[in-house]
Amino acid sequence: MKVKIKTGFSKTKDNDLLVKAQTIHDDMGNDSVDYPTPTPTLSSIQTKINTFSNKLADRGSKAKTAAKNSVRKSLIDALNLLALYAQTNCGNDAETALKSGFDIFKTGTPVGDLPRPRGFTLASGNNSGEIYASMESFGYIAKSYIFRYTQVEGSDPSTWKTKVSTDRKVLIDMLESGKKVFVQGAGVGASKHLVWGNVISMYVI
């Protein structure tokens, strides 16, 4: 069965688009063997991401919203072109395709209990009070990814705030700067049982 990378982000929410674009940029940049000469260039993609992030932080009037939407369209157009490059270079291999940061159309069904997530990391976001949390992709065997977090050290994880996403990377915002944030993640399979990874933390800028 042919591996096909998903394109088109017109229905993706603004913040989710920002996270996904950054994931694609970072993942493809980390795999120079399979993706040696991305087109468009990753530097141009990062420029569009930064511009879009700035527009998201500065909106309100109709003129500013229109400007944000224009920049959003430019970013989506560039991502769609990059998806075509990834499709050409993935060699019809699902694992290689997922290394590009793009999603692929499912070729199977989610399994029951997923293993403990690997490659769980935290990184500062583009704005104050934001971080990115990510884990390695489970591919088509995961229905979604769940993250829970708190800034209250030693608290019961069952009381933490949660975010669920179909992407392996999420933006966590509205955090208090200068304090640590504690985060756990898990993959969601066909069953309701979750195997949480270790709690990791970082200081919020």
Q: Is the pLDDT of residue 109 over 60?
A: no
Per the model's pLDDT, the better-predicted residue between 108 and 69 turns out to be 69
Spatial distance between the Cα atoms of 55 and 114, rounded to a whole number of angstroms: 38
Which pLDDT score is estimated for 3? Answer: 84
Q: Is the pLDDT of residue 110 over 60?
A: no
How do the domains of the chain map onto residue ranges? 14-99, 121-203
Task: Supply the mean pLDDT for the chain.
Answer: 91
Q: Is the pLDDT of residue 18 over 90?
A: yes
Which pLDDT score is estimated for 171? Answer: 95
Which pLDDT score is estimated for 155? Answer: 95
Indicate the residue type of 89.
N
Return the CATH architecture of domain 121-203: Sandwich (2.60)
Over residues 36-55, mean pLDDT: 96
Which pLDDT score is estimated for 191? Answer: 78
Which pLDDT score is estimated for 152? Answer: 96
Per residue in 136-195, pLDDT (tens digit) is 988 777 889 999 999 999 999 999 999 999 899 999 999 999 999 999 999 998 777 899
Over residues 97-111, mean pLDDT: 78
Per-residue confidence band for 107, with pLDDT thresholds at 50, 70 and 90: low
pLDDT-wise least confident of 54-63, 120-129, 166-175, 176-185 = 54-63
Q: Is the pLDDT of residue 59 over 60?
A: yes
Cα–Cα nearest to 171, from 60, 65, 61, 12: 12
Per the model's pLDDT, the better-predicted residue between 184 and 92 turns out to be 184
Per-residue confidence band for 9, with pLDDT thresholds at 50, 70 and 90: very high
**Token representation of residue 65:** 């919203």
**DSSP assignment, residue 39?**
S
Angle of the 14-29 helix axis to the 62-89 helix axis, nearest 10: 30
Which pLDDT score is estimated for 112? Answer: 64
Which pLDDT score is estimated for 2? Answer: 77
Element of type H or E holding 56 = helix 42-57
Cis peptide before 36 (omega within 30 of 0): no
97, 21, 70, 164 alpha-carbon torsion, rounded to 10°: 110
